[in-house]
Amino acid sequence: MNDPVKASRTKKVSFGDIYSKYGVMLILVVIFIAASFLSGNFLTQANLTNVLRQIVVITIVGFGGTFILISAQINIAYDALLAAIGCLACITVVKTQNVFLAVGVGILIGACIGWIYGFLVTFFNIPAFIVGLAINTIARGAILMITGGRNVSKLGNFSVIGQGYIGPVPIPVIIMFVLLAVCWVILNKTCFGRHVFAVGGNPGAAEASGINVKSVIRRVYVLDGVLTAVAAIIFMSRLASGQPSAGDGYAFDAITAAVVGGASISGGSGNVIGTIIGAAIVGVINNLMNLMNVHSYWQQIVKGVIILLAVIIDVQTKKATSKAKKD
Amino acid sequence: MSANHQEYVLEMHNIVKVFPGVRALDGMNLQVRPGTVHVIAGENGAGKSTLMKVINGQYAAEEGEIIYKGKVLEKRTIQQTIQLGISMIQQELNPIRQMTVAENIYIGREPQSLKGFVDYKKMYADTQELLDKLEIPFRSEEKLEKLSIAAFQQIEIAKAISRDASVIIMDEPTSAIADTEIEILFKQITSLKKQGVAIIFITHKMDEIFRIADDITIIRDGRWISTGPISEYDQDKVISLMVGRTITNIFPKIDVPIGDVVLEVKNLKQYGRFRDISFEVRKGEILGFSGLIGAGRSEVMRAVFGLDSYHEGEIYLHGKRVEIHNTKDAISHGIAMALEDRRAEGIIPDRSTRENITLANIRSFARKVLINSKKEKKEVQRMIDLLRIKVTTPEQLIKNLSGGNQQKVILAKWLLGNLDVLILDEPTRGIDVGSKSEIHSLMCEFAKQGLAIIMISSEMPELLEMSDRIVVMREGTIRGELQRNEASQEAIMKLAT
């Protein structure tokens, strides 16, 4: 009886719809064009390759962060986890001279830490935010203790992962795009991906549909831990040394990338392609500010404003769509 | 008493309250005498809470007048109404548990010695005096977190008295407290009456009505039906006045041969919620579950479906005992449930109709780990056609569908799997009449195909017309079972209250 009304409603495209589909891409294009006008050095091949290499770690951590945000969770421990997992992989290399073993150990440790994170959240019902604070401090303290606060050096072939090239393309960039494909498939083409959206979108309905909500959340944290480990290995390998006090600011940049890319802070929506674009936006702005010699204090202020804007847009578009529904 | 008879503390004449599409109150009348208990009785949805919200100032009536202590009441806020001396004790009490009794009673109007500073000494002394006067056995310094819901009620009463209330409205005050606590509450009410306070008491429990009421007003479908001293009524009269409405024909029930027992539940018990629950449902049968809100119907079914745990009892499927610890177990045994609150436990609002339909059975579309989207889309389209779900495309977000279509999506979700038992909790609540009749005819089709259906409903006509058999629950136990031919509104109400 009210079919025509409904049909016209679905055809009407709102700002929220446009933004959620193409918004981040448009913002990236605009910033990209602006950057090439503002700095003569921006559009050189060397600089663009540099930007790509710089965003690799943020992007890969951001992929994990995207899964975490979609399932309505949060991980704020990336700073110290990058340092801890990266250094443990470096120590393995120094002890065994086996790069493959080091990568394996790093990933395994990442998965274990992820599982513990998820276990603390689901078993004891501790807010994820608090677990993140605690794990960040514990991981930082532990790795400083293990390394005695000194950098781990003499990594041999290990640095190929972060510094090598295949043809003209840096290896980390290749890894990033491979992981993009893997994460996209997991999120959009597997049962697990569906369950992640369901758990974040409405845990009650997910439970009532036979989904083990807590198990899904734990597996999301394990995946997040694995991705963090890969990022950590690339990070330390690029520096050619294990640095126990490195990693500051990465949690912030990764979560910003995911949120700018459309992951909702209240769960239930997000996508990894958006995250890589979000990371590119963050990367281009960082790069531009460096090229223009903007003071690092100012850089921090700008980054803080960016995440606030992204969250405000997320909340406002949500409000707009829910209002449209009521009309 | 008789001297007060002509003088009403609160009068309402021809109150009309309209919400978009419904006349929630249509010519409502009420006369409350001071120092009496005035019971308002009516079915779920009769308009009791709307009426109370018109009195306490939350809603403003479109027509009619309210006269309180001889003066006409105009539009006012809840706070202003309380200051006038009309307090309401909500069904769901929400005190600040970390605060003391006195702090809760004086919240927002704390006595002050110096502007801005709380005079704790006076506050605790005044509160203690008040509690002693009302014979409420708590100390004013006690924190609420240690006290029970019944205690919260008593404190609410004390709060109302501390504001010099002449009228106290109690919205189903006995629904959440134990029998012994009810005795204490009734004693309290008796002493309030002696002080001249009028109590408006909302309930649909028959035994309570006849124990506590001085006067009764019966309402139905937003209309005033009958008022008088309780001595002029008996139980049968109250029930027939409460339920006597004409039933429209939106129930296309078809007769289906009823087969073997599919699900049998024996002596199910969950501490504090329900006990001794035994019933069975057969192939092709629609088993209705009736009872007042809070009787434990949903709780039983949530336990059978594995959403909540049960402590004692057994569940048998096709004569074989099964263990159900979570919803996954239940679904793998062919038991599915469409829950009462679609928004909270039915749909994933921001996902497509397609994803919502395949949510519970997505594994059956997966080859190894990847979902076969071609097969998924085909099956989704088949369900959309079968259940006549109105969507522009299967990719339409479910939150943009009407309530009736959302409910059909939930039914489609379950029909995709291998189902033996379908439990429906208030399947047509909040759904327009057209979709209602469609969902009813779908239920009959499912039954015809051999499904066993359990339907919890608070709508009498739905229960009577759709069920082959009706189980009536009250206060966590099964009070009786009625065959289709012996079921009537009166028979159900007698068992349920």
Q: What is the pLDDT of residues B298-311, one digit of tens each?
A: 999 999 999 999 99
Q: Is the pLDDT of residue B3 over 60?
A: no
Higher-pLDDT residue of A44, B45: A44
| Residues 212 through 251 of chain A touching chain B, CB cutoff 8 Å | 212
Residues 6+ apart with CB under 8 A from A236: A86, A87, A89, A90, A155, A158, A162, A242, A243, A246
Residue A45 in domain: no
| pLDDT for residue A106 | 97
For A148: left if phi > 0, alpha if psi spans -120 to 50, otherwise beta; the answer is left
Locus of tokens 């031919």: B485
Contact between chains at A210 and B330 (C-beta distance less than 8 A): yes
Mean per-residue pLDDT, B152-178 = 86
Question: B44 versus A179: which is more confidently predicted?
Answer: A179
pTM above 0.80, yes or no: no
Contact B351 A7 (CB under 8 A): no
Asked if B300 and B456 touch (Cβ cutoff 8 Å), the reply is no
Position A322 scores a pLDDT of 52
Residue A33 lies in a domain: no
In a domain, A29, yes or no: no
Distance, in angstroms, between A63 CA and closest chain B CA? 20
Cβ contact, residue pair A191, B363, below 8 Å: yes
Contacts of A195 in chain B (CB under 8 A): 362
Name every chain A residue with its beta carbon within 8 A of the beta carbon of B339: 208
The two beta strands, B469-474 and B452-456, are unpaired
In terms of CA atoms, which chain A residue is nearest residue B326? A210
Does a structural domain hold residue A62? yes
> Among A81, A247, A230, A96, which residue's Cα sits nearest to residue A162?
A230
CB contact under 8 A, B327 and A189: no
> Is A191 an interface residue toward B (CB < 8 Å)?
yes
Q: Which domain holds residue A299?
A: 55-320
A206 contact residues in B (CB cutoff 8 A):
348, 359
Q: What is the mean pLDDT of chain B?
A: 88
State how far the Cα of A73 lies from the Cα of A200, in Å rounded to an integer.
8
Would you say residue A4 lies in a domain? no
Question: Which stretches of chain A score pLDDT less than 50?
Answer: 1-12, 323-327
Query: Is B383's pLDDT higher than 80?
Result: yes
State the ipTM, two decimals. Answer: 0.81
Q: What is the pLDDT of residue B44?
A: 64
Position A97 in a domain:
yes
Mean pLDDT, residues B201-222 = 87
Residue B143 has pLDDT above 70, yes or no: yes
What pLDDT sits at residue A86? 96
pLDDT, position B174: 81
Taking only the tens place, the pLDDT of each residue in B389-428 is 888 899 999 988 877 889 999 999 999 988 999 999 989 8
Q: Are A217 and A121 in contact (CB under 8 A)?
A: yes
H or E element, residue B327: helix B327-332
Neighbours of B19 (CB within 10 A): 10
Specify if A15 maps to a domain: no
A194 contacts in chain B (CB < 8 Å): 355, 358-359, 362, 371
CATH, residue A239:
1.10.3470
Q: Which of A104-118, B9-23, B199-213 has the highest mean pLDDT?
A: A104-118
More confident residue, B18 or A315: B18
A210 touches chain B (CB under 8 A): yes
CA gap B457, B445 in Å, rounded: 19
B434–A contact, CB cutoff 8 A: yes
Chain A closest-CA separation from residue B464 CA (Å): 28
A207 at the B interface (CB within 8 A)? yes
**Cα gap B69→B7, rounded to integer Å:** 9
Please choose, from the candidates B359, B413, B362, B419, the residue with its C-alpha nearest in 3D space to the C-alpha of residue B384. Answer: B413
Nearest neighbour of A190 by CB, restricted to B358, B370, B392:
B370
Q: Can you give the pLDDT at residue B434?
A: 66
Domain count across chain A? 1
Q: 3-state DSSP call for residue A111?
A: helix
Interface contact B348-A202, CB threshold 8 A:
yes
Give the confidence band of B325 by pLDDT, cuts at 50, 70, 90.
very high
Q: What domains does chain B contain, in order, with CATH numbers?
A: 2-243 (3.40.50.300), 261-496 (3.40.50.300)
Asked if pLDDT for residue B435 goes beyond 80, the answer is no
What are the pLDDT digits (tens) for A21-61?
Answer: 677 888 889 889 999 998 888 989 889 988 998 899 999 99
Q: Inspect the interface and report whether the beta carbons of A6 and B370 lie closer than 8 Å.
A: no
